[in-house]
Amino acid sequence: MDIEISVLAVLLAFASSMVVGFIWYAKPVFGDTWMKLVGLNDKKAQEGMAKAFVPTTVAALLQAYLVACIAFVLNSFYLDMSWLATATLAGILLWLVQTTAFVTHDAFEQRPLQLTLINAGNQLATLLAMGIIIGLFEV
């Protein structure tokens, strides 16, 4: 089976992750709380932004690609589901895998539950947005 995906859908899904993150971590939303929980101030956050840009960009692009690939495979096996449903399911499945990692690492690192919920919530919103975009393009 050859996996066929829309490059445009993947790029738009990738872009949506930047939009979701920008909104999610904005100061009035969860930004102030998140910065306090991880021990950052404005200056430190700005200094680290350039360093974080490349790995987060690569990770978001990979996430979008994986959602598209998983959606294609799911749609191939569950023909009675729409592309939108399978792509959204793909996002949820990836989120579940990531959340188990968040919970495990944060528990052992003794991070506050609120931080885990903020980060896991961001990933859920991101992967749902990606799934919806990819589903609308029918991969």
In a domain, 89, yes or no: yes
In a domain, 17, yes or no: no
In a domain, 6, yes or no: no
In a domain, 83, yes or no: yes
Contact (Cβ atoms closer than 8 angstroms) between residue 120 and residue 99: yes
pLDDT, tens only, 94-122: 999 999 998 999 999 999 999 999 999 99
pLDDT, tens only, 35-55: 999 998 888 887 778 888 899
In a domain, 14, yes or no: no
How many domains, the chain? 1
pLDDT, tens only, 58-93: 999 999 999 999 999 998 887 788 999 999 999 999
- Structural domain boundaries, residue 72: 29-136
DSSP state of 93: H
User: What is the widest separation between alpha-carbon atoms in the chain?
Assistant: 52
In a domain, 124, yes or no: yes
In a domain, 8, yes or no: no
In a domain, 115, yes or no: yes
Rounded CA separation 109/105 (Å) = 6
